[in-house]
Chain A
């Protein structure tokens, strides 16, 4: 044992290094493999237009998942992101007659207030995040149905610039993709470069220690849920603009995809571990998967089965990665 480590066998080390690299970057590898398979399977896949369409479709999910990642790093969960997205889209539809600017501001504020309520329920009433946001998931959707009577609101008088938020382009880049990029950039800054980010990781890993060292845990958590809700509201505005319709069902079940993407990206439900870079890969893996299956005319039901399998594989791999590091 000692001898072999004194005279290292090159192949053995290379193999081990390769294994550890693959393990560390499993989500990157998975995406590359998926892209390769996709370009072989369908000649349309690698076209700029198809790629941009995939990205545009994924943009709201990218934004919502960035918020979900921050919440999960703080050792919480937010089941209400889809409903808050729907709530914000509803506000857009209802308030559009008063002007697109007013509608957007109201959607951002309204969504964030729901997030603040989540945060207050969790910190002041000591509800578990699962319970508080489950209640919000149901109640916020209820509000949407009340306000819309369960029917679509078609926005006939919305200005062109509002429609551009969801369907415009800057050169060849869809505007939703640009918005998602800036939201992602902000989330990455927040988590890695700000004091608040350090505190979010600390609370997720060891809330007792964080409290002991004077970190205002309640305030940090309230900010986390408010931020996740703000991101959902931004995604809601994009969805409403893209369709130019406020659908009462928009965003339904999105929380499950956002949690999936976050977990596939290597963020742990145990808190304190992960980041938004991994989540981008998680979202893209799911988006590309769905695109390939569409291009190949395979049923979306198959996609659901595959997504389940991918989550299991991804979480097992990130557990292995975590153990390999410690």
Chain B
């Protein structure tokens, strides 16, 4: 937590709500996210975490409340809207093409082209290679070879490629990740945590959903707890213990209420 008191949040979520029929998935949830911090979103299954991030990534639209990016109120009608506001989302299905190498995956659907002999449009392999190397250097991501097919890579490397893919455009401000370590072994998960940590030093913010409190305590600056659609509290990781978070997830009461006298 190094933001000054007067630093403006990059993302402000003000009392957004979403319900499906009679079910209130998210109720008046608010959070501020600042530049260069990692915020973990925890809670039981059905607490509303996924619905919450879906509204931030433009997959769903809130019924009420507002989302401000850099102080300006935004309406995300689609994931493309969120993306153009600098919010990228890593989904659980990585969506990598196994038989493609790193460069081909990074540029899939947005290949650079150039013109050969004045007439023939061709893909610009050299330029894409250069930008791939630049990107990997910028985010401190080391891969065995950028010419290796992602099929031959470990789970953590593949996850890293998927994250790198989101960062190709340099105007990304917030990365949202839904359980990025879920399918990974211990060592592989560590590599992804390291990458998130190194992105923080570059000023990039991450909002990460995780069930693994050990990971959360390793990587997050702040922890947001959800229960029954409500965002209970956001606490500084340094100021809480593992058990405090567990109790918040279970009881749905903010940390102060624990010490306060019962009403």
Which residue among B104, B122, B152 has the maximum number of chain A CB atoms within 10 Å of its CB?
B122
Residues of chain B contacted by A206 (CB below 8 angstroms): 95-98
Nearest CB of chain B from residue A208's CB, rounded to whole Å: 7
Q: Does B217 contact A (CB under 8 A)?
A: no
Residues of chain A contacted by B93 (CB below 8 angstroms): 208, 212
Residues of chain B contacted by A214 (CB below 8 angstroms): 109
Q: Does B144 contact A (CB under 8 A)?
A: no
Q: Does A18 contact B (CB under 8 A)?
A: no
Q: Does B151 contact A (CB under 8 A)?
A: yes
Interface string of A167-210 (1 = CB under 8 A from B): 00000000000000000000001000111011101100110111
Q: Does B123 contact A (CB under 8 A)?
A: yes
Residues of chain B contacted by A193 (CB below 8 angstroms): 120, 122-123
Residues of chain A contacted by B108 (CB below 8 angstroms): 198, 202, 209-210, 213, 215
Q: Does A272 contact B (CB under 8 A)?
A: yes
Question: CB distance A210 to B122 under 8 Å?
Answer: no
Instruction: State the total of A-B contacts with C-beta under 8 angstroms.
Output: 62
Complex CA distance for A213 and B100, rounded to whole angstroms? 14
Complex CA distance for A90 and B114, rounded to whole angstroms? 41
Residues of chain B contacted by A199 (CB below 8 angstroms): 109
Interface string of B79-113 (1 = CB under 8 A from A): 00000000000010111111110001000111101
Known: A193-B123, A202-B108. A210 touches B97 (CB 8 A): yes
Interface string of B120-154 (1 = CB under 8 A from A): 11110000000000000000000000000101100
Complex CA distance for A325 and B149, rounded to whole angstroms? 9
Q: Interface residues of A: mostly helix, strand, loop or mixed?
A: helix
Question: CB distance B120 to A326 under 8 Å?
Answer: no
Question: CB distance B95 to A213 under 8 Å?
Answer: yes
Query: How many residues from A make CB contacts under 8 Å with B?
Result: 22
Nearest CB of chain A from residue B147's CB, rounded to whole Å: 12
Q: Interface residues of B: mostly helix, strand, loop or mixed?
A: loop
Question: CB distance B123 to A272 under 8 Å?
Answer: no
Nearest CB of chain B from residue A69's CB, rounded to whole Å: 15
Nearest CB of chain B from residue A24's CB, rounded to whole Å: 15
Residues of chain B contacted by A201 (CB below 8 angstroms): 97, 99-100
Residues of chain A contacted by B104 (CB below 8 angstroms): 198
Q: Does A117 contact B (CB under 8 A)?
A: no
Known: A194-B121, A194-B123, A326-B152. A273 touches B109 (CB 8 A): no
Residue of B nearest to A209 (CB): B95
Question: CB distance B122 to A205 under 8 Å?
Answer: no
- Since A195-B123, A198-B111, A326-B151 are in contact, a sample of 4 more A-B pairs with Cβ atoms closer than 8 Å, ordered by chain A residue number, is A193-B120, A193-B122, A209-B94, A326-B152
Q: Interface of A with B (CB < 8 Å)?
A: 189, 193-195, 197-199, 201-202, 205-206, 208-210, 212-215, 272-273, 325-326
Give 20 A-B contacts (CB < 8 Å), ordered by A residue. Answer: A193-B122, A193-B123, A194-B123, A195-B123, A198-B111, A201-B97, A202-B108, A202-B109, A205-B97, A205-B99, A206-B96, A208-B95, A209-B94, A209-B95, A209-B96, A209-B97, A209-B108, A213-B108, A272-B97, A272-B99
